[in-house]
Amino acid sequence: QTVVTQEPSFSVSPGGTVTLTCGLTSGSVSTSYYPSWYQQTPGQAPRTLIYSTNTRSSGVPDRFSGSIVGNKAALTITGAQADDESDYYCVLYMGSGIYVFGTGTKVTVL
């Protein structure tokens, strides 16, 4: 069974930079997995930040960026702000219309 891994938690200082990753327990993540990233705060629907590896969704500030780093997908937040404190999820496309979500990363800004 495919498991998509994310760091359980990360802490970043206001104004700092943090890179979250999204990997596979077996194999490497490439652009062929069309990695995408979502931000979710308690009680709210997910908000799309990045799709297809590095395309920012409409209205998303450019301090959020997506890439492939080594064998994982990555979401980098540059110049972290207090309202970036959220849960972040990645999802990978496995082919044939099938997706698998990552386990999620809780980001604290302090």
Interface residues with another protein (CB under 8 A) are 34-36, 38, 40, 45-48, 50-52, 55, 57, 87, 89, 91, 93, 96-104
* Residue whose C-alpha is closest to residue 73's, from 56, 87, 52: 52
- CA-to-CA separations, 101 to 11, 33, 61, 88, 105, in angstroms, rounded: 22, 12, 23, 11, 12
Residue with Cβ nearer another protein (17 or 31):
31
Give the nearest distance from C-beta 31 to another protein in angstroms: 11
Give the nearest distance from C-beta 13 to another protein in angstroms: 26
Residue with Cβ nearer another protein (26 or 96):
96
Q: Where is 108: in which H helix or E strand?
A: strand 105-109
